[in-house]
A = this chain, B = another copy of it.
Amino acid sequence: MQDEGRRRVVIEGVKPQIDGGRFAIKRTVGESVVVEADIFTDGHDAIAGALRYRKTGASQWSEVPMTFLSNDRWRAAFSVTEIGRYTYTLIGWVDHFKTWRGDLRKRVEAGQDVTVDLQIGANLIEDASKRASDNDAAWLRLQASTLRNKGEAAPHKIKVALDDQMARVMERYPDRCLATTYERELDVVVDPKKARFSAWYEMFPRSGALVPGEHGTFQDCEARLPYIAGMGFDVLYFPPIHPIGVSFRKGKNNTLTAEPDDVGSPWAIGSAEGGHTAIHPQLGTLEDFRRLVAKAREYDLDIALDIAFQCSPDHPYVKAHPEWFRMRPDGTIQYAENPPKKYQDIYPFDFETRAWQPLWEELKNVFLFWVKQGVSIFRVDNPHTKPFAFWEWVIREVKQAHPETIFLAEAFTRPKVMYNLAKLGFTQSYTYFAWRNTKWDLTQYLTELTRTEVREFFRPNFWPNTPDILNEYLQVGGRPAFMIRLVLAATLAANYGIYGPAFELCINTPREPGSEEYLDSEKYELKSWDLESHLSLQHVITQVNRIRRENPALQHNGSLRFHQADNERIICYSKQSEDGTNTIVVVISLDPYYTQAGWLDLPLEELGFDPGQTYQMHDLLSDARYLWHGPHNYVELHPYHAPAHIFRMRRHIRTEHDFDYYM
């Protein structure tokens, strides 16, 4: 406190910063954190500042000098090179030497006597020498004595004082005894690259049997791996793999009474055979599961598990821990409800229980159990129906021990709630994408996700379908609708997924008109899929995933920009790699029925292209190459054979004497 009143620099308006530093921002390994702040002091003194950062737990800060932008705004950046947590803050100080140097130059230019000023400078330099390393210290003392030497002529002294080398050395030893440190330390969660760029494939392992009608096993899944990896996916996500309850088991198409041979919903977790850490006996053993995980990894596929914190009435917890559920006055346990609807096959946990601490510990151990089996990606079912404080705690606990873990929030709920779950720690989030089907809706939504503060904490994962969501657009639009939605999901969002094989086979019959449920949904019965169907989008998906892998522009969302198309059914947008060398322009017709044509308007200069130069548009889907010139160009899209272009934009960088003209 002795010096508090002498600290003259103010640091404020620091960005990125979520809710005053209450939550961390997110990055993946190798990404940079660009920090901006308003830094200023009273009066006319020059100032300097530095961005300080460290891996959480490290004792030393690293520093990057801040660069002045304009209007009191400063900027610096650092890269996060390791998975885990980082912290950053800022420091600023009055730079008396810089002020003095600037003033001296003006005085000299005005022809003023600078005798006293040179003495002031000598003092500043000598002070700095006390902070300097041996060599620099000696050099600085020498310069100071030159400035003080009465025998030396003023012009020489001035030259010494204003020397660039002098400025550089002095910059190394600033006097920071009155520096201001920003009042908050801000956090970054650093995830593995898959947190930012991933292609998910969801399948019910029980439907993977080679023999139609049989209950699939993990071994069957092993046989399916080449098919899934061959399409280019890198996450294979299973609905719950645990024993399924029999009490109040749901029948086919969600009927209230199950037939004896009905398999039940995997989300009715737990039976006499075990709960959240057990495996459905018909799928195989824990050993089988571990082998599948290892096998999948050979295909660069991570197995993601579905964590649904709820119990069937037959779950072992119900007897062992009745205190974790809500008891009704008649002595029964409260089942899930959305009055007047009753879900008697599901008991929710009572998170208001006084025994919340053991409950939290147990649920944490469920994650840790599966981590131990080699799982590092979890799709969390309905997190918005469990307390926010629990998620913040459990995700932090798991990531403290296993920072590579990825949590995908399956919350289809109100925007504030979805954003809060992302802020408190979920790595990726399901979105409203399934209900954004027009150009206006898509543009609005993606602008919110990628151009506002939301981008700092919310990583969208776009799903054109899920076992719960067969949207109207897919129901009515047929195969072209599936192609359109595939390309939108895969190019708008760096993370996307499909629920297959229903997706690639273009299955689109709803349970009833107006419903988004599948008819004969796989949630309640075994399915056998004809993967060889002529309708299959397998080859398009393979192509799209290859394009994503080969083009860094599609591996993040921050550069997304929408461009003008004069037809409301045509949407056009671009993404660019950070270094600007990879530019992708996507043009899609949103009309699954008719041919659509129109004129695009590309901001060539913004994209780093010379408006006077011809450029090549290489359609990575059809491999066609077009030579375009200027911002306005014509496109025509046909729902059946080509509802979309994924163009790589290439500059003309060689002469006609070279073989390959464009890169």
A112 within 8 A of B: yes
CA distance A330 to B13 in the complex (A): 42
Segment of A151-159, A247-255, A409-417 in the binding face:
A409-417
CA distance A340 to B8 in the complex (A): 24
Chain B residues lying within 8 Å of A577, measured Cβ to Cβ, are none
Q: Helix, strand, loop or mixed for chain A's interface?
A: mixed
Establish whether residues B339 and A5, one from each chain, have CB atoms under 8 Å apart when the complex forms.
Answer: no
- Taking the closest CB of chain B, its distance from the CB of A98, in whole angstroms, is 13
A563 within 8 A of B: no
A660 within 8 A of B: no
A356 within 8 A of B: yes
A390 within 8 A of B: yes
Segment of A102-110, A463-471, A474-482, A630-638 in the binding face:
A102-110
- Taking the closest CB of chain B, its distance from the CB of A619, in whole angstroms, is 41
User: Given that A5-B356, A8-B351, A360-B5 are contacting pairs, would A388 and B112 also be in contact in the complex, using a CB cutoff of 8 Å?
Assistant: no
Chain B residues lying within 8 Å of A106, measured Cβ to Cβ, are 339-340
A594 within 8 A of B: no
Chain B residues lying within 8 Å of A94, measured Cβ to Cβ, are 352
Which chain B residue has the least Cβ–Cβ distance from A112?
Answer: B340
A402 within 8 A of B: no
Segment of A227-235, A379-387, A585-593, A651-659 in the binding face:
A379-387
A57 within 8 A of B: no
A393 within 8 A of B: yes
- Taking the closest CB of chain B, its distance from the CB of A226, in whole angstroms, is 41
CA distance A12 to B353 in the complex (A): 25
Which chain B residue has the least Cβ–Cβ distance from A353?
Answer: B6
A20 within 8 A of B: yes
Establish whether residues A330 and B116, one from each chain, have CB atoms under 8 Å apart when the complex forms.
Answer: yes
CA distance A21 to B183 in the complex (A): 12
Segment of A36-44, A192-200, A491-499, A533-541 in the binding face:
A36-44
A337 within 8 A of B: yes
A624 within 8 A of B: no
- Taking the closest CB of chain B, its distance from the CB of A103, in whole angstroms, is 4
Establish whether residues A416 and B43, one from each chain, have CB atoms under 8 Å apart when the complex forms.
Answer: no
The total of chain A residues at the interface (CB under 8 A) is: 63
- Taking the closest CB of chain B, its distance from the CB of A365, in whole angstroms, is 16
Establish whether residues A357 and B110, one from each chain, have CB atoms under 8 Å apart when the complex forms.
Answer: no
A582 within 8 A of B: no
A10 within 8 A of B: yes
A420 within 8 A of B: yes
- Taking the closest CB of chain B, its distance from the CB of A6, in whole angstroms, is 5
A19 within 8 A of B: yes
Establish whether residues B393 and A356, one from each chain, have CB atoms under 8 Å apart when the complex forms.
Answer: no
Chain B residues lying within 8 Å of A353, measured Cβ to Cβ, are 6
- Most central of A38, A329, A337, A385 by chain B CB within 10 Å: A329
User: Digit string of A273-296 for contact with B (CB within 8 Å is 1, else 0)?
Assistant: 000000000000000000000000
A7 within 8 A of B: yes
Establish whether residues A5 and B393, one from each chain, have CB atoms under 8 Å apart when the complex forms.
Answer: yes
Name the contact of A390 in the complex, choosing from B5, B102, B386 (C-beta under 8 A): B5
Residue contacts A-B, CB under 8 angstroms, 14 given: A5-B390, A6-B356, A6-B387, A8-B387, A8-B388, A10-B420, A12-B420, A42-B384, A42-B385, A43-B385, A103-B339, A116-B330, A119-B329, A123-B329
With A12-B420, A40-B416, A42-B388 known, 8 other A-B pairs at CB within 8 A are A7-B387, A40-B414, A40-B420, A42-B384, A43-B386, A71-B415, A109-B340, A116-B329
